Amino acid sequence: MLKGKRIIVGVSGGIASYKAITLCSLLYKAGADVKVILTESATKFVTPLTFQTIARGNVYTDTFEERDPKVIAHIDVADHADLVIVAPATANIIAKMAHGLADDMLSTTLLATTAPILLSPAMNVHMLAHPAVQHNLRLLSERGVQVIDPAEGQLACGYTGKGRLPEPEQLLQAIESYFSQHLLLRGRKVLITAGGTRERLDPVRYLGNDSSGKMGFALAEAAVQMGAEVTLIAAASSLPVPAGVHLVRVESAQEMYGQVMQHFDQTDYVFKAAAVADYRPVVREMKKRKKGSERWVIELERTTDILETIGKQKQHQFVVGFAAETEALEHYAMDKLRRKNCDLVVANDVSQEGAGFNSDTNIVSIYGEEGCVLSLPMMSKLEVARQLLKLAMIRKGDQGGGAHVR
Geometric angle at alpha carbon 287, from 282 and 288, rounded to 5°: 95
- 162 a known binding residue? no
β-partners of residue 371 are 368
Domain map of the chain by residue range? 6-182, 185-396
Geometric angle at alpha carbon 259, from 387 and 211, rounded to 5°: 55
pLDDT at 182: 67
Q: Hey, do 6-182 and 185-396 end up sharing a CATH topology, with the first three levels equal? A: yes
CA distances to 196, 293, 299, 300, 304 from 253, rounded to whole Å, are 9, 29, 17, 13, 8
6-182: CATH topology is Rossmann fold (3.40.50)
β-partners of residue 207 are 199
Mean pLDDT of 7-32: 94
CA distances to 26, 183, 227, 250, 308 from 177, rounded to whole Å, are 15, 10, 14, 36, 37
- 278 a known binding residue? yes
Residue 111 clears pLDDT 70, i.e. is over it: yes
Considering only residues 291 and 368, tell me which one the structure prediction assigns the higher pLDDT.
368
- 5 a known binding residue? no
pLDDT at 76: 81
pLDDT at 405: 35
pLDDT band at residue 73 using 50, 70 and 90 as cut-offs = confident
Residue 406 clears pLDDT 60, i.e. is over it: no
Residue 2 phi/psi, 5-degree rounding, is -95, -5
Mean pLDDT of 330-354: 93
Q: How far apart are alpha carbons 345 and 34 in whole angstroms?
A: 42
Residue 391 clears pLDDT 80, i.e. is over it: yes
Superfamily per CATH, domain 185-396 = CoaB-like (3.40.50.10300)
- 96 a known binding residue? no
Catalytic residues: 157
Q: What is the pTM (predicted TM-score) of this model?
A: 0.67
Residue 403 clears pLDDT 80, i.e. is over it: no
- 336 a known binding residue? yes
pLDDT at 166: 92
